[in-house]
């Protein structure tokens, strides 16, 4: 069965810190891995990764995928209170049309 | 691109009642999805819908659930006889193609009493 495991489950840091969130997966016929940020309601899209070793970057956020070791990391540098959210990792495969989510990492950034 | 619009934002219903949740997508979207998130739990896939037909559904999507696109625009999720455990946020999501980013609507919170 496909599995997505995120760690840590929660993390508390202070503004300015750098954080690394982890997502490991077991997926048959892997197609892509996506990162989302969920604040109050809907998950908002951050990154989609399909190839190993290619870093995707957006401002202070970056992410990379390792298809050999079956994991991805999401880095946030110089964290701000507005980064406080649950960060979700999701993977999908070529076999079907659904997307399997991890339980998320709850990040709290204190001023 | 804008995400989809969902209505209602919050619905409270009695157990056993029928509920219809609506999703209004942009017209050129072909791939639609319903996900749900029980409070404090994972986002779970329910069903995907392509070209006016169900393409995939999860084990959660049993006979109590149905989806349709009755007028070619609104995309609905119907729960025939709600149970307490159906209380959750229901998210509609869309993709332009079969791959690529999945964008979520703001969600409809369903509370079953």
**Distance from C-alpha of A67 to C-alpha of A62, rounded to nearest angstrom:** 17
- 8 Å CB contact of B42 and A103: yes
Q: Which residue is associated with the tokens 């050129």?
A: B28
Q: Evaluate if residue B12 carries a pLDDT over 90.
A: yes
Q: Residue A76 has what pLDDT?
A: 98
Q: Which candidate from B31, B56, B101 shows the least CB-CB separation from A34? A: B101
**Distance from C-alpha of B33 to C-alpha of B75, rounded to nearest angstrom:** 9
**Distance from C-alpha of B108 to C-alpha of B28, rounded to nearest angstrom:** 23
Do B62 and B79 form a contact (C-beta atoms < 8 A)?
no
Q: Which residues contact B71 (CB under 8 A, 6 or more apart)?
A: none
Q: Evaluate if residue B36 carries a pLDDT over 70.
A: yes
Instruction: Give the residue ranges of chain A where pLDDT is below 50.
Output: none
**Distance from C-alpha of A37 to C-alpha of A88, rounded to nearest angstrom:** 6
The string of DSSP letters for B13-28 reads E-TT--EEEEEE--TT
Q: Which residue is associated with the tokens 């989510």?
A: A101
Q: How confident is the model at residue B28 (pLDDT cuts 50, 70, 90)?
A: low
**Distance from C-alpha of B66 to C-alpha of B80, rounded to nearest angstrom:** 8
| pLDDT tens readout for residues B62-112 | 999 999 887 777 889 999 999 999 999 999 998 877 677 888 999 999 999
Q: Evaluate if residue B26 carries a pLDDT over 90.
A: no
- 8 Å CB contact of B105 and A32: no
**Distance from C-alpha of A81 to C-alpha of A27, rounded to nearest angstrom:** 34
Half-sphere exposure of B109 (CA within 13 A, CB side): 9
Q: Which of A41, A51, A56 is the best substitution to test chain B (most B C-beta atoms within 10 A)?
A: A41
Q: Residue B98 has what pLDDT?
A: 67
Q: Residue A102 has what pLDDT?
A: 95
Strands B10-13 and B108-112: parallel
**Distance from C-alpha of A5 to C-alpha of A88, rounded to nearest angstrom:** 10
The better pLDDT of the pair B37, B28 is held by: B37
The better pLDDT of the pair B55, A108 is held by: A108
Q: Which candidate from A41, A48, A98 shows the least CB-CB separation from B45? A: A98
């Amino acid at each position: 069965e496909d599995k997505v495991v995120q760690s840590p489950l929660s993390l508390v840091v202070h503004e300015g810190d750098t954080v690394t969130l982890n997502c490991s997966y077991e997926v048959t016929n892997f197609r892509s891995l996506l990162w989302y940020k969920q604040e109050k309601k809907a998950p908002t899209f951050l990154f989609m990764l399909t190839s190993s070793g290619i870093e995707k970057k957006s401002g202070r956020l970056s992410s990379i995928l390792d298809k050999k070791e079956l994991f991805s990391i999401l880095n946030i540098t110089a964290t701000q209170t507005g980064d406080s959210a649950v960060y979700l990792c999701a993977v999908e495969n070529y076999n079907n049309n659904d997307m399997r989510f991890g339980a998320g990492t709850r990040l709290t950034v204190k001023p | 691109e804008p995400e989809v619009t969902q209505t209602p934002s919050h619905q409270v219903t009695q157990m056993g009642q029928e509920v219809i949740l609506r999703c209004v997508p942009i017209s050129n979207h072909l791939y639609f999805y319903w996900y749900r998130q029980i409070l404090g739990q994972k986002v779970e896939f329910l069903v995907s819908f392509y070209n006016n037909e169900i393409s995939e559904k999860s084990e959660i999507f049993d006979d109590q659930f149905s989806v349709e696109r009755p007028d070619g625009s609104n995309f609905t999720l119907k729960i025939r006889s709600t149970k307490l455990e159906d209380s959750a946020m229901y998210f509609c999501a869309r993709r332009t193609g079969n791959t690529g980013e999945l964008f979520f609507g703001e969600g409809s919170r369903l509370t079953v009493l």
